[in-house]
Amino acid sequence: MKASVSYDIISKVMTTKKAGKQMKILTNFHHERDFNFFLLAGLFSGIGAGINTSIFNNYLSDIFKLSEDTRGFLEVPRETPGFLIMIVLAVLSSLGDVRIAMLGMAAAGMGMLGLGVLSPTFAVMIIWMMMYSLGTHMIMPVTPSIGMSLSNQESFGARLGTVSAFGLSGSIIAYVYIFLGFNFLHMTYQTAFLTGTVFYMFAAFAVAMMKKGGPDVRKVKFVFRKRYSLYYVLAVVSGARNQIFLTFAPWVLIKVFDVKPQMFAILGMVVAFISIGSRKLIGKLIDNRGERFVLTLEAVLLLAICLGYAFSGRIFSASVAVIIIAGCYVIDNSMSAVEMARSTYVRKIAVDLADVTPTLSTGVSLQHIASMVIPIFGGLLWMEVGYQAVFMAAAVIALLNLILSRRIKIV
């Protein structure tokens, strides 16, 4: 009798272990399936974003003839959706991260459609520009959250690096398309924007095919914890520095050195090829050396880049200066993946895993406080003093970023 009872117990334990193992295998299968769809979405959205990056500033210059100060003021409506993203994501939080990503990609696609064919006036163009901006800003904070939810803590950096690499592969396709189109096929801005629309819709469909991905549906909430205060400050400083480069680095190349869309496509290809390797390297450095090391290295490099933008035109001839500034543009854009380090930092210090996406979205909103204000002063500073002064101000911000990065601790 005892032997029979023991056998039953052992049998139940073995059955439970077998069921648990099968459940784990099934879960891993679903995670990998969802991760593959997420990579595909990253590829498609990378194509859409790459097209926009290549042509948007030239589009503003050629079609609407903007001055430097107007270009700076335009960042206020363009970055307003980013500032409000914390509220937007809180309202949409009941949908879950995957559906938010899907809606964001669809909104970005509709924004590109409007820019291409539904912008007869500057005022109308601003509306579609804001829709595109809303879509991309909805995608930003949920992308790392989804990627990390399909990973384990030991491989956060590597998995996010893979996601970034697929997005960059899409960008390379976009840059080749823009280079060939504008250089040899007399492509119009309208055609380019319509192509971006199609690929953003493909991306939304790929995300819709995912079964899960991302944390469980959350209640609407805002997260402000003292524990995350350093992340919030880093987000503001990073937003200020990023916006100077995003707004005025291409504007220098266009207005001072007359760089055309096909040349931006070439620069974009160089950035993408470098970044495919650098993003995986940054991911491994995050896993092996930690967030403080990576963010410190970024701050040092950015300080050097700011000085390159500011002084190369004064020290060298125009032909040499444009090469140096283009090199600074490439290096700066190749380091955008360092944002992963700020995301993994939040994930590792999070009190509750449900805090991650709200905290990241709060960070994005805080970034855009600086993003809305800095370009206004940058445009006025350019008009009064010259573009060199804008990048000297960026150098001061990069120095502050270095000081703050040294305070990071994972506890």
> Can you tell me the distance from the alpha carbon of 351 to that of 252, in angstroms, rounded to the nearest whole number?
43
Average pLDDT value over all residues in the chain? 83
Which pLDDT score, from 0 to 100, does residue 198 have? 97
Does 14 score more than 70 pLDDT?
Answer: no
Q: Rounded to 5 degrees, what angle do the CA atoms 96, 101, 102 make?
A: 100
For 56-66, the pLDDT digits (tens) are 999 998 999 88
Mean pLDDT of 259-266: 88
> Can you tell me the distance from the alpha carbon of 181 to that of 253, in angstroms, rounded to the nearest whole number?
20
Residue 11 in any domain: the answer is no
Residue 12 in any domain: the answer is no
Residue 326: partners with Cβ closer than 8 Å, 6 or more residues away: 253, 259, 267
If we measure between CA atoms, which residue out of 82, 225, 210 comes closest to residue 140?
Answer: 82
If we measure between CA atoms, which residue out of 214, 212, 206 comes closest to residue 97?
Answer: 214
Residue 14 in any domain: the answer is no
Which pLDDT score, from 0 to 100, does residue 16 have? 53
Question: Is 150 or 350 the better-scoring residue by pLDDT?
Answer: 350
What pLDDT band is residue 12 in, cutting at 50, 70 and 90?
A: low
> Can you tell me the distance from the alpha carbon of 47 to that of 172, in angstroms, rounded to the nearest whole number?
8
Which pLDDT score, from 0 to 100, does residue 340 have? 80
For 195-225, the pLDDT digits (tens) are 999 999 999 999 998 875 444 445 545 667 7
3-class secondary structure, 119: coil
Are 314 and 320 within 8 A, CB to CB? no
Which pLDDT score, from 0 to 100, does residue 8 have? 60
> Can you tell me the distance from the alpha carbon of 238 to that of 255, in angstroms, rounded to the nearest whole number?
25
Which pLDDT score, from 0 to 100, does residue 251 have? 86
- Among 47-56, 132-141, 274-283, 340-349, the minimum mean pLDDT is found in 274-283
pTM for this model (two decimals): 0.74
CATH number at residue 117: 1.20.1250.20
Does 83 score more than 90 pLDDT?
Answer: no
Show the tokens assigned to 348. 């590792």
Residue 81 in any domain: the answer is yes
The structure tokens 């855009």 sit at: 368
Dihedral (Cα; 145, 150, 156, 158), 10-degree rounding: -120
Residue 90 in any domain: the answer is yes
Question: Is 107 or 166 the better-scoring residue by pLDDT?
Answer: 107
Which pLDDT score, from 0 to 100, does residue 26 have? 45
What pLDDT band is residue 286 in, cutting at 50, 70 and 90?
A: confident
For 15-30, the pLDDT digits (tens) are 555 555 554 554 555 5
Residue 120 in any domain: the answer is yes
Expressed as residue numbers, the domain containing 369 is 23-405
Residue 115 in any domain: the answer is yes
As for how many domains the chain has, the answer is 1
Which pLDDT score, from 0 to 100, does residue 214 have? 47
Please report, in angstroms and rounded to a whole number, the separation of the first and last CA atoms in the chain: 54
Residue 399 in any domain: the answer is yes
Which pLDDT score, from 0 to 100, does residue 258 have? 85
